[in-house]
Structure 1
Amino acid sequence: MSTHRIEFPGTAFAPVELADLASLPVHLTVLNSPLLFGCRSGLCGTCLIEVEALSGGELEAPDAAERDALEIYAPGNPHARLACQLVLTTDVRIRKIESA
């Protein structure tokens, strides 16, 4: 089984290794990441992040519902995603987007 590394730059949190296709809300907690999860369905925006695929990898594009939410929570930010909707398919660097 392949794993992917999640890095949290600018925080005290160590990188985490998760299995391919892992669901972030299942594996990331306040103990191992700076992310918080609210509704876990992509509606509340609590888990808004900027994500960068590493090592030349690519992430699946957001579906229509996530795109609609991102237009509200992070308009014009091409790196914004909702962590609860992200399917892990490559190594990533994640930065929490703070509410304005």
Structure 2
Amino acid sequence: MSTVRIEFPGTRFAAQELPARACLPLHLTVQNSPLLFGCRSGLCGTCLIEVEGEGDVAEPPSAEEIEALDIYAPGNAKARLACQLVPLGAMRLRKIDSA
């Protein structure tokens, strides 16, 4: 099984090695990452992040995620909802606070 490295720059959290295509809310907790997950369906904005560099994800944002991002991070092209990401390769994720 292939793994992907998820880094959290600027935090005290160590990088995590997760299975490729992992569901992030199932693997990332308050003990091993700075990310929090609320609804886990892309509606609440709790897991709002920026993907630094060229993070490799399986799919572009869905129409629903784009709508949520327009509310929680208008104009931020790097913003994503971590609960909606499907990692295929190494990623650097930075938590951002929703308004």
Give 1:98 shift: 1.7
Which residue is equivalent to 2:33? 33
Structure 2 counterpart of 1:95, which letter?
A: R
CA distance in 1, matches of 2:15, 2:97: 20
Q: Secondary structure at the match of 1:68?
A: helix
1:58 aligns to 2:56 (yes or no): yes
1:88 aligns to 2:95 (yes or no): no
State TM-score, norm by structure 1: 0.92
CA distance in 2, matches of 1:15, 1:38: 22
Give 1:32 shift: 0.2
CA distance in 2, matches of 1:25, 1:99: 18
Unmatched 5+ stretches in structure 1? none
Q: Secondary structure at the match of 1:94?
A: strand
Relative distance call for 1:9 and 1:32 in structure 2 (3 A) is: same
State TM-score, norm by structure 2: 0.93
Structure 2 counterpart of 1:40, which letter?
A: R
CA distance in 2, matches of 1:88, 1:99: 22
Structure 1 vs Structure 2: percent identity of aligned residues? Answer: 70
Relative distance call for 1:68 and 1:99 in structure 2 (3 A) is: closer
CA contact (8 A) 1:53 1:91 kept: no
Which residue is equivalent to 1:9? 9
Number of aligned positions between the proteins: 98
Which residue is equivalent to 2:70? 71
CA contact (8 A) 2:56 2:91 kept: no
CA distance in 2, matches of 1:69, 1:99: 11
CA contact (8 A) 1:6 1:93 kept: yes
Q: Secondary structure at the match of 2:93?
A: strand
Which residue is equivalent to 1:97? 96
